[in-house]
Amino acid sequence: MPKAYLILENGTVFEGDAFGYEGEAMGELVFSTGMTGYLETLTDPSYYGQIVIQTFPLIGNYGVIPADFESGGFHIKGYIVRQWCQEPSNFRSEGNLDTFLRLHKIPGLCNIDTRALTRIVRERGVMNAVISRKPALTDAEWAALKGYTIEGAVDNMTTKARYELRPEGQERFHVALWDFGAKQSIARELQERGCRVTVLPAGTKAEEVLALRPDGIMLSNGPGDPAKNMGVVEELRKVCVHKIPTFGICLGHQLLALSQGAKTRKLHYGHRGANQPALETATGRVFITSQNHGYAVINESLPEHAEVSFINANDHTCEGIDYKNMPAFSVQFHPEACAGPLDTRWLFDRFITLMEEAKAHAAQ
């Protein structure tokens, strides 16, 4: 394999071996701690514009399984692993990781010390990086690296047109899924619970959402800085006045909070992986969750009609909010958990209960 280099914004250079697509890549450098789920990571829209480090040392051992993809596209800028498996073993596998990365033009880098690299990101915070075929950058390349920002993330990841998904069995509810870069597994969880799902582009106006007369509104995950989506926030604020049962996940959680007057901030290195502890404030119970976010809602900024329902057991950042002025709640983690533990899928059932209660109240 040819040599390649990872050059960090702080000047650190790692030498490794190139695999996957024969090209260079620039992006925001982040790490994911999941032991499994590399296919979901590669296809998760929330990783748009980022170079991902996998902290688990062996990646690719169960091959490429299209049925596990979280979207129809491939959104990361580059992929860094300690070692990739050249001979995967799984009855569902339809190929190997190297071929997959080549096909979808994702440069990879292996045989570097990912533990040392992850420690740098943990201590110094998220930074920009470039995967390059040469160990040094020109002045112009350094300027481009330091000036790199992720722009238009939600606009690039949302669906371009409205579409509908139907449940296999009896239809119980109609849910409007506001797509900010949604993982496919969110709609799948709703369909399994008897929901017809209308998926809407991020730029959908409040009047269009209300015209659907949905039983509930799902606010999806997505990439980037939530504060760069104030147009969406304003439309969401208009919808919230109508008190339709609402459930927000990840970016949807942040946008809902912003619509109610809260504020967000960028985390030092974010939470990414399938082993993040979320503590439920009402019970003290800790759930192990799947997460992928670089921003958080500021606890102290919440309005009086909102209260923190979950906190991260490691750094005490906001992981969930319940709203007292409307039938709405949100979580920072991924209860659909693909890949990850199944601890919090009951939150989808809670959403179903909110819609049941709203229908019962309307019938009185």
Residues acting as catalytic residues = 250, 334, 336
What crossing angle do the helices spanning 230-240 and 251-259 adopt, rounded to 10°?
Answer: 70
Tokens 């319940």 locate to 322
* Burial of 130: CB neighbours in 10 Å, binned 0-12, 13-18, 19+: buried
What is the rounded CA–CA span in Å between residue 144 and residue 187?
Answer: 38
SS (H, E, C) 81-147: CCEECCCCCCCCCCCCHHHHHHHCCCEEEECCCHHHHHHHHHHHCCEEEEEECCCCCCHHHHHHHHC
Contact 81, 110 (CB under 8 A): yes
Only one residue has tokens 């998926």, namely 199
